[in-house]
Amino acid sequence: MLIKGRVWKYGDDINTDVLFPGKYTYTVTDAKEMAKIALEDLDPEFAKNVQKGDVIVGGANFGCGSSREQAASCLLYAGVGAVVAKTFARIFFRNCINFGLPALTSEKAVDALEHGESIEIDTEKGEILCEAGVFSFPPLPEEVVGIFDAGGLIPYTKKQLGIK
Amino acid sequence: MGKTFTEKVLGRKAGKDIVPGEIIEVEPDVAMSHDNTAAISKTFYNIGVDKVYNPEMHVIILDHCTPAANEKFAQNHKVIREFVKKQGIPNFYDIEVGICHQVMHEKGHVWPGALIVGSDSHTTSYGAFGAFSAGIGRSEMAVIMARGKIWLRVPETIRIWVEGEFPEGIASKDLMLKIAGEIGADGALYKAIEFCGPTIDRMSVASRFVLTNMAVEIGAKAGYMIPNAETLAYLRERVKTPFEIVESDPDAIYEAEYKFDVSALEPMIAKPHTVDNVVPVSVVKGTKIDQVFFGSCTNARVEDFEVVSNVLRGKKVHPEVRMLVFPASAEVYLEVLKRGWITDLAEAGCVIMNPGCGPCMGNHEGVPADGEVTLATSNRNFKGRLGNKESFVYLVSPMTAAVSALTGKIEDFREYQNDMRL
């Protein structure tokens, strides 16, 4: 998969409440509406200006807090192509895999990337291309790469159960 | 080579010898979901399966917005009730029962050595009863409903050793905030935590729960303790499933070890907007507060009510403070009602609310206004957590919350000790 877009850069400990506020978890369920409130409590400019293929860059512990998977799916619905961080909180990381949203770990890339710059990610080669150069990221564990390749946990499960 | 508790429980489930870092597919003993079951059921049907793989595995508890705040929440609850009926899920608790993480153990759905998953991050809580329990996402719960299985990465284990006697009035919440402040919000990322040492062994069921409940706040996948005598007595009254206590081997490998001594511990507080932004209460003493949120799965049990009612009995909450009280469950509510403590709190000017999550994720029942400060006995103070990103949440123990409610300012309760019946 080739992802091309601009960088939206934020800091450490970006939590699920600022990605997708708790007060909406049972009331906003439509994908388009979810996209509109992505990052509402972190960066009100984001949802208005995000374009397909844009990449969110965060520091350590990205996605900490709640188990709510809307914190990952709202990014996907907003057009985000990938999230690059130094480390991910575990449930958020699982939710990304389960929705087929690339969650990539590269400390060096995060340090080098700047807000607004252009970025290209080649998920097959495991490379991030940007102004500062080329950075690699580790592949997903073999056991879960199938989930990601199937487009997420639900299509993967359908395949496993032989449901078309 | 010795095995940790986690390696033993997950290995037994996987049916093989496992090591940290390995990814395994396992069938949980119990799978808990709450108000998010409506969305989960929709995803479940989208998979194309009609019948839940094992209805007995699931425990569904309504608590996140109870009673429904508006028609959307009401519809959500209705979808869940219909799903439960259609699928014949026997373990369903409607809005009157309490917070999921409290109800789970009150109703016997948690036991030592069990593998429990829940579509809620605070599922780490059940480690206080010797279970391995971890939070998962909604889609994963839908897949468990469809095929009974989930993949898990076997985590490395870190050990947190606690010793010393708590000074009077200092509680497990102060200890947990101290740990969060020192280890950091990502200090236990992807790891299992074992809380151990003489202090942990002596602590009450409710106090131990505070630590495993908040293990996720420092990034942990699970928190665990060897059940002590009080915990086992509590479980024996409630659990019908036969169980065996699983413990780490003496020569098990830990990735890291931390040591804490509580004998000189001070009252601690987490400032806005992260759980690891922790200082002694004395540092922020005098900060004006508008609301006190005494509730949540962290601190709203009988022993917490004892502390708070002892402080407030015969006194009045400051006229410029709104103090909201949410018992963790109906069982807790009835017990503290019988003891007369609800009367004490109501006479002191508290607003007595129903058992449930209350404003903890900003749905209803106490959303603050712009610029307002809430002192909360809960576990999370992220920006916007209580429903308004222009407000501020500080996390404290029930003791600090109660004393501060009297003066309308954040207080170091030790300065008031002579004044109160502690």
Residue B135: band (very low, low, confident or very high) from pLDDT cuts 50, 70, 90: very high
Instruction: Look over chain B and give the mean of its residue pLDDT values, rounded to a whole number.
Output: 97
* Cβ-Cβ contacts under 8 Å, B35 against chain A: 26
A105 has a chain B CB within 8 A of its CB: no
pLDDT in tens, B297-316: 999 999 999 999 999 999 99
Tokens for B376, please give them.
Answer: 């909360």
B412 has a chain A CB within 8 A of its CB: no
Residue A57 pLDDT more than 60?
yes
Q: With an 8 Å Cβ cutoff, are A65 and B274 in contact?
A: no
Task: Please give the pLDDT value at position A164.
Answer: 85
* Cβ-Cβ contacts under 8 Å, A69 against chain B: 137-139
The amino acid occupying position B189 is L
A23 has a chain B CB within 8 A of its CB: yes
Task: Please give the pLDDT value at position B421.
Answer: 44
Rg (CA), chain B: 21
Task: Please give the pLDDT value at position B420.
Answer: 53
Rg (CA), chain A: 15
C-alpha dihedral over A104, A29, B220, A43, to 10 degrees? 60
Query: CA A105 to CA A88: how far, in whole Å?
Result: 8
* Cβ-Cβ contacts under 8 Å, B119 against chain A: 67
pLDDT in tens, B151-180: 999 999 999 999 999 999 999 999 999 999
**Residue A111 CA to chain centroid, in angstroms?**
18
| Residue among B72, B137, B189 whose CB faces A98 most closely | B137
- pLDDT-above-70 percentage for chain B: 99
Task: Please give the pLDDT value at position B417.
Answer: 67
CB of B81 closer than 8 Å to CB of B102:
no
Task: Please give the pLDDT value at position B422.
Answer: 41
pLDDT in tens, B84-106: 999 999 999 999 999 999 999 99
Comparing alpha-carbon positions, the chain A residue that sits nearest to B276 is A13
Give B392 to chain A, closest Cα distance, Å: 13
Task: Give the list of residues 6+ apart from residue B222 with CB closer than 8 angstroms, or none.
Answer: B6, B124, B127, B132, B133, B134, B155, B192, B193, B215
pLDDT in tens, B363-383: 999 999 999 999 999 999 999
Query: Directed axis angle between helix B138-147 and helix A90-99, to 10°?
Result: 70
* Cβ-Cβ contacts under 8 Å, A94 against chain B: 136-137, 140
pLDDT in tens, A87-134: 999 999 999 999 999 999 999 999 999 999 999 999 999 999 999 999
Tokens for A158, please give them.
Answer: 């359908």
Strand-strand pairing, B268-270 and B278-280: antiparallel
Q: Could you report the predicted ipTM of this complex, rounded to two decimals? A: 0.96
Task: Please give the pLDDT value at position B416.
Answer: 81
Q: How far apart are the first and last CA of chain A?
A: 24
Mean pLDDT for the stretch of residues B399-420: 89
Q: Can you give the length of chain A in residues? A: 164
- DSSP for B26-75, written as a single string: E--SEEEE-TTHHHHHHHHHHHT--S-S-GGGEEEE--TTSS-SSHHHHH
Task: Specify the pTM.
Answer: 0.97
Sheet-wide strand order for B192-196: B222-224, B192-196, B157-163, B256-261
Domains of chain B: 5-260 (3.30.499.10), 269-416 (3.30.499.10)
Q: With an 8 Å Cβ cutoff, are B384 and A41 in contact?
A: yes
| Residue among B47, B65, B383 whose CB faces A157 most closely | B47
- DSSP for chain A, written as a single string: -EEEEEEEE--S--BHHHHS-GGGTTT--SHHHHHHTTTTTT-HHHHHH--TT-EEEE-TTBTBS---THHHHHHHHTT--EEEES-B-HHHHHHHHHHT--EEE-HHHHHH--TT-EEEEETTTTEEEETTEEEE-PPPPHHHHHHHHTTSHHHHHHHHHT--
Q: Is the peptide bond before B273 cis (omega within 30 degrees of 0)?
A: yes
Query: Directed axis angle between helix B302-312 and helix B398-407, to 10°?
Result: 20
Residue B332: band (very low, low, confident or very high) from pLDDT cuts 50, 70, 90: very high
Residue B76: band (very low, low, confident or very high) from pLDDT cuts 50, 70, 90: very high
Could you count the other beta carbons within 10 Å of the beta carbon of residue B422?
15
The residues in A 31-70 lying below 8 A from B, measured between CB atoms, are: 40-42, 60-61, 64-69
Query: CA A140 to CA A104: how far, in whole Å?
Result: 9
Mean pLDDT for the stretch of residues B266-286: 98
Residue A76 pLDDT more than 60?
yes
Residue A143 pLDDT more than 90?
no
H or E element in which residue B343 lies? helix B341-347
Query: CA B29 to CA B14: how far, in whole Å?
Result: 13
Residue A46 pLDDT more than 50?
yes
| Residue among A25, A61, A153 whose CB faces B140 most closely | A153
Residue B1: band (very low, low, confident or very high) from pLDDT cuts 50, 70, 90: confident
Q: With an 8 Å Cβ cutoff, are A90 and B221 in contact?
A: yes
Task: Please give the pLDDT value at position B418.
Answer: 59
